[in-house]
């Protein structure tokens, strides 16, 4: 008992050192527990992947080949380590023959896609920037029609992974997100996604999966990191300082639209049974002796463009890829314009919400649907677009929807949840 009293007396006399030791041990224990949980997640994922690798294949059937485009600079330079520890073992255990191609600089993925040979699947390991470069390089190819049918897997390794919530369940655990995305590639279920073709007057087109963003909220979001020294107040401070430099935050923009197009059925209709041989011979003889009259070709109707003038604080042209499994009547892109009649307080409040979800718009915002839109900026307007979270110089552009252009791997559970969501 005396020894215990002596220990407590020592802790009381050296309370500063004791407090520091408790903090260090607590943090160390929490860190070790997190590492243990990550190891458990990896082990479970590898056990599932091993079941895929044990499946028998036919004598003449070859192993599946996958080309991985990896951006080592993603996630502050940790992407290569994250891929090697969490994704690569799963692919190897499943018996997938992978070829890893690492990018060395920004824009290289576009050039690599021009040289890529045919593969069974394409895997993008990085963030929004890497994915946008890969899609752009793929769809710029002369033979893009053939390569568009290649299924694409997305392993979220970047700081921004906007498409991931549409394909997999996300958690606070980075390791769990990576392993879940890799397992969904092995399971093979895919979903079609829309693509936006964004073309300026002179430059080659850029392709996007999420959308094009332009306006005051985008400009503020790009500067929030500069106020890191303000801690949790940096977001509010960035919006407030922006209102001091520029007010009101309203821009007039001209938008020309083509109406949405009806969406064809997802599944091909069943083919009718083939007539018997005698019926086919009689029909061919009848067509030979009395061929049917050819109907005159109808002249194509000119495209009906609708022009609208919008006064907005922010314009967002986006796809429906937030829910790619949704059953829709029309193929369309969405144009959302945030009204500019806001007070400073409302601007800061809405801006805080848009930092978490840029696709969020207020109830009184203008929402339009179109198959093609042309965006004309006011004279003297400067600034930048965000195209899938990548910065581009603002200019007049034509945005065209390419419906269901690509197919991405998706987890079956996430697909079922998206289908069950109210439309």
Q: What is the pLDDT of residue 269?
A: 44
Of 322 and 422, the one with more pLDDT:
322
Residue 89 domain-assigned (yes or no): yes
Q: Are residues 360 and 315 in the same domain?
A: yes
Span 13-39, pLDDT tens digits: 777 777 777 788 888 888 888 788 888
Q: What is the pLDDT of residue 52?
A: 83
Residue 112 domain-assigned (yes or no): yes
Distances, alpha carbon 332 to alpha carbons 132, 305, 423, in Å: 20, 15, 15
Q: Are residues 139 and 254 in the same domain?
A: no
- Domain CATH number, residue 255: 2.60.200.40
Pairing of strands 97-102, 65-70: parallel
Span 121-161, pLDDT tens digits: 999 999 888 999 999 999 998 888 888 888 999 999 988 88
Domain boundary among 138, 153, 188: 188
Assess whether the previous peptide bond of 248 is cis (omega < 30° from 0).
yes
The model's pTM:
0.82
Q: Are residues 65 and 150 in the same domain?
A: yes
Span 318-369, pLDDT tens digits: 998 888 888 888 888 999 888 877 888 888 888 888 888 888 887 788 888 8
Pairing of strands 65-70, 121-126: parallel
Average confidence (pLDDT) over 99-123: 87
Domain of 134 in residue numbering reads as 43-188
Give which of 385, 403, 401 is closest to 393, Cα–Cα.
Answer: 385
Q: Are residues 337 and 230 in the same domain?
A: yes
């Amino acid at each position: 008992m005396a020894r215990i009293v002596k220990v407590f007396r020592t802790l009381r006399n050296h309370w500063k050192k004791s407090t520091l030791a408790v903090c260090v041990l607590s943090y160390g224990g929490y860190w070790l527990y997190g590492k243990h949980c990550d190891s458990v997640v990896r082990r479970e994922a590898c056990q599932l992947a091993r079941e895929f690798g044990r499946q028998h294949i036919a004598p003449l059937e070859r192993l599946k080949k996958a080309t991985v485009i990896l951006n080592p600079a993603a996630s502050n330079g940790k992407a290569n380590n994250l891929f090697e520890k969490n994704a690569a073992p799963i692919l190897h255990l499943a018996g997938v023959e992978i070829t890893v191609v690492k990018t060395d600089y920004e824009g290289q993925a576009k050039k690599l896609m021009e040289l890529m040979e045919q593969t069974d699947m394409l895997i993008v390991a990085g963030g929004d920037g890497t994915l946008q470069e890969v899609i752009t390089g793929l769809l710029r190819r002369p033979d893009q029609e053939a390569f568009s049918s290649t299924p694409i897997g997305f392993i979220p390794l970047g700081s921004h992974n906007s498409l991931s919530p549409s394909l997999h369940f996300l958690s606070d655990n980075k390791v769990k997100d990576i392993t879940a995305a890799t397992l969904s590639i092995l399971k093979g279920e895919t979903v079609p996604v829309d693509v936006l073709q964004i073309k300026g007057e002179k430059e080659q087109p850029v392709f996007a999966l999420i959308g094009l963003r332009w306006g005051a909220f985008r400009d503020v979001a790009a500067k929030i990191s500069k106020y890191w020294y303000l801690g949790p107040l940096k977001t509010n401070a960035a919006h407030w300082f922006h209102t001091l430099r520029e007010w009101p935050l309203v821009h007039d923009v001209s938008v020309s639209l083509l109406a949405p197009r009806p969406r064809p059925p997802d599944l091909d209709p069943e083919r009718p049974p083939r007539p018997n041989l005698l019926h086919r011979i009689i029909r061919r003889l009848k067509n030979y002796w009395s061929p049917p009259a050819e109907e005159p070709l109808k002249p194509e109707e000119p495209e009906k463009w609708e022009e609208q003038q919008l006064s907005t604080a922010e314009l967002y042209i986006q796809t429906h890829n937030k829910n790619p499994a949704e059953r829709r009547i029309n193929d369309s892109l969405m144009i959302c314009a945030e009204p500019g009649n806001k007070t400073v307080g409302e601007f800061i409040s809405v801006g805080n919400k848009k930092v978490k979800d840029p696709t969020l718009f207020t109830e009184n915002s203008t929402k339009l649907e179109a198959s093609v839109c042309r965006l004309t900026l006011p004279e003297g307007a400067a600034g930048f677009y965000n195209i899938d979270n990548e910065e581009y110089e603002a200019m007049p552009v034509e945005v065209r929807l390419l419906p269901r252009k690509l197919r991405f791997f998706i987890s079956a559970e996430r697909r079922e949840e998206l289908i069950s969501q109210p439309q």
